[in-house]
Chains A and B, each alone.
Chain A
Amino acid sequence: MRAKLLALMTCSAMTIAATAQAETLTIATVNNGDMIRMQKLAGAFTEQHPDIELEWVTLEENVLRQRVTTDIATKGGQYDIMTIGTYEVPIWAGQEWLVPLDFEADYDVDDLLPAIRAGLSVDETLYAAPFYGESSFVMYRKDLFEEAGLEMPEAPTWDFIGEAARKITDKDNEVYGICLRGKAGWGENMAFLSAMANSFGARWFDMEWKPQFDQPEWKDALQFYIDLMNDAGPPGASSNGFNENLALFQTGKCGMWIDATVAASFVSNPDESQVADDVGFALAPDKGLGKRGNWLWAWSLAIPAGSQKTEAAKTFIAWATSKAYSELVAEEEGWANVPPGTRTSLYENPSYQEAAPFAELTLKSIQAADPTSPTVEEVPYVGVQFVAIPEFQGIGTAVGQQFSAALAGQASVDQALSNAQALTEREMQKAGYPK
């Protein structure tokens, strides 16, 4: 009896010791389909690593950004893994806020798409591992194009897009040729407009960090956008962001929509979209200047320098961004649900190509965006639809408000551009540029 009791106590003590030894990783993630799927499948990881427990903090993108920025800037140490984007990585890595990531050979870091890897590296050191990558492209209604006698080329020009949008528009029946972002914000209308302006030959700053809104390229781009939206856009477009346009497109009110490649799976899902069978895809438009108007973004996993559990965090990141994870998702939920845009091998996989008809265009779009050389002319910054400096969030949103006002008819294009120029000059001067 006594021996049994002793054995029982020893077992209990061992269990308690094992529990006490288990490391708990707190992971901050953004609320989107791929991340939620990762949470669901994380049981496979904890089975392989019983000594690691996972705690999730899921947040909407803007709240997440605010929370993780506060935490990392104050070295709060609340999170062991943070989900961050291509905007944060170069800035935070430069501040030495992130732990450099070096993985084992079987992780195959060379398999990462070069554009994505470049966006997440500083001095060729990887600071965040991409979980999924996205670009932007054109989604269009094949049936409306057919009715109008139009054919969408795989790589359209802005002139074609403008012409087609006006031709398709049938305002009496609430069909608008094109839906584009208009809601003010650096990650809202300015993501679209900065990428679009790149293809018009415009840039945010010249090599001396002087704002360029007084240059003709910006005027061409903004005038084109405003005219196009006035002629062929939906009413109230100045308050439309991704979700508003998604709802418009899914309910058959848009002929075209240029936005994130991640939208492809939403608009072609018959459970959500009334036009699922009639959606076609094309590359983002260009102006014949060698740059397309598409952006590049990757939600990535990084370890803040304040974390005490670096090794366990690295183990989890290696698992979540590995080829094996892609295979696990394919096995559990099908190839179409594998997080896109991070690895070359995924796009060479015939099963994936078959399951995701938009795969090739997504890859081409990602490859067409180079964060280190985003525009026609040379620039001193990194980033396609943003400028990777800490001041950009504030400046980008303020400029976005000017452009949104121009779209709403509250200011002229010239006024909006001159205000944008003045405010950017002022903020950059305050921030001490050129540095």
Chain B
Amino acid sequence: MARAVSTRTRLVFTLIGWLVGFLIFFPILWTVLTSFKSEGTAIATPPQFLFFQWTAENYIEVNSRSDYLKHFMNSVVISLGSTLLGLVIAIPAAWAMAFAPTKRTKDVLLWMLSTKMLPAVGVLVPIYLLFRDAGLLDTRIGLTFVLTMANLPIIVWMLYTYFREIPGDILEAARMDGASLAKEIIYVLTPMAVPGIASTLLLNIILAWNEAFWTLNLTAAKAAPLTAFIASYSSPEGLFWAKLSAASTLAIAPILILGWFSQRQLVRGLTFGAVK
């Protein structure tokens, strides 16, 4: 039975919710505001919140200096490609772990997760050398591959959690009707796990979009995505905050919009199985 909640309590919690939301969103808001300031205003003390001379000069400068579209396309290809490739590998893997577990399944899952515990820089040199020898440096294929590998443990874990919620009897029924393993996964399991797969897809696109270690270290000019676009505006000598903010705003805008439209799906997927 639902507990009665007084209007006052509800108001207080709503306010706290809004406050926390605002605090989390504030850095992004500040970045957007700074992108419309001049370099001088960007470092002014006390900081100016809304009442400053708004200017679009940073966006003009950023667009004339860098090829935004090229970086954007690289980001799209790399993040989408790595996520889709990851799903193709992870769906069968998660199926096996969820519906045909062995006594070592838990260990395998933990071992997968443990690969995320090593700082990425620890394997930079071997990966760099492998990429060099395979001719994959500064290529979209190379980056797609490395980001797939980097995010695979998360994808497998997420899918495994969703698949566990699906009753095995349904799959068994399909098998009894003569469905092969591939058909069982493609026509029975996948449609039932669509919310989980969708949220895994979205979350991993976001993770791959924002990945800034491999994308910075393994690219030069051709495959550089938006992370490299942002990095090119930081400078230890000279003022750069306003231009950097404009570049950041341009880089995060597409993913922010995607997140905005798919928030219902994301929230549903992330809280899937949390309440029983």
Contact = CB atoms under 8 A, between A and B. Distances in A.
B125 interface: yes
A120 B191 CA distance: 64
B128 A70 contact: yes
Contacts of B237: 32, 61, 242-243, 260, 262-263
Given A39-B65, A242-B236, A266-B238, A67 B124 contact: no
Nearest to B233: A31
B137 A31 contact: no
A246 interface: yes
A344 B10 CA distance: 74
A55 interface: yes
Interface string B35-72: 00011100111000000000000000000011000000
B221 interface: yes
A28 B220 contact: yes
B44 A60 contact: no
A272 interface: yes
Contacts of B141: none
Contacts of A160: none
Interface in A108-142: none
A70 B234 CA distance: 20
B231 A59 contact: yes
Nearest to B232: A58
A140 B256 CA distance: 45
A77 B234 CA distance: 25
Given A58-B232, A63-B231, A243 B238 contact: yes
16 contacts: A30-B235, A32-B235, A55-B221, A60-B235, A63-B234, A70-B124, A74-B132, A76-B132, A187-B236, A241-B236, A246-B239, A247-B239, A262-B238, A263-B237, A271-B40, A272-B39
Interface in B128-159: 128-129, 132, 137-138
A324 interface: no
Given A74-B128, A74-B129, A67 B236 contact: no
Interface in A48-84: 55-63, 66-67, 70, 74-79
Contact-residue bracket for chain A = 35 or more
Given A67-B216, A187-B236, A250-B43, 15 more contacts: A31-B234, A31-B235, A39-B65, A58-B66, A60-B232, A60-B236, A61-B235, A61-B236, A74-B125, A79-B220, A247-B43, A251-B43, A260-B237, A272-B239, A273-B40
A59 B232 contact: yes
Interface in A322-352: none
B231 A26 contact: no
A266 B239 contact: yes
A33 interface: yes
B266 interface: no
Contacts of A14: none
B240 interface: yes
A78 B125 CA distance: 15
Interface string B7-48: 000000000000000000000000000000011100111000
B91 interface: no
A59 to B, nearest CB: 6
A263 B222 CA distance: 33
Interface string B218-253: 001110100010011111111110000000000000
A41 to B, nearest CB: 13
Contacts of A247: 43, 239
Contacts of B124: 70
Contacts of B235: 30-32, 60-61, 243
Interface of B: 38-40, 43-45, 65-66, 124-125, 128-129, 132, 137-138, 216-217, 220-222, 224, 228, 231-240
Contacts of B38: 271
Contacts of B137: 76-78
A36 interface: yes
Interface in A253-267: 260, 262-263, 266
A90 to B, nearest CB: 22
B226 to A, nearest CB: 14
A31 B240 contact: yes
Given A60-B236, A241-B236, A76 B65 contact: no
A61 B217 CA distance: 14
Most chain A CB inside 10 Å of its own CB: which residue of B124, B224, B232, B239: B232
Nearest to B236: A61
Interface in A140-188: 187
A101 to B, nearest CB: 22
Given A28-B220, A76-B132, A251 B44 contact: yes
Nearest to B39: A272
A359 to B, nearest CB: 19
Contacts of A58: 66, 232
Contacts of A28: 220
A372 B270 CA distance: 61
B28 to A, nearest CB: 21
Contacts of A66: 217
A266 B138 CA distance: 35
A136 B137 CA distance: 38
Given A70-B128, A74-B125, A32 B221 contact: no
A160 B234 CA distance: 36
A26 to B, nearest CB: 5
Contacts of B66: 58
B238 A26 contact: no
Contacts of A26: 220-221
A76 B217 CA distance: 12
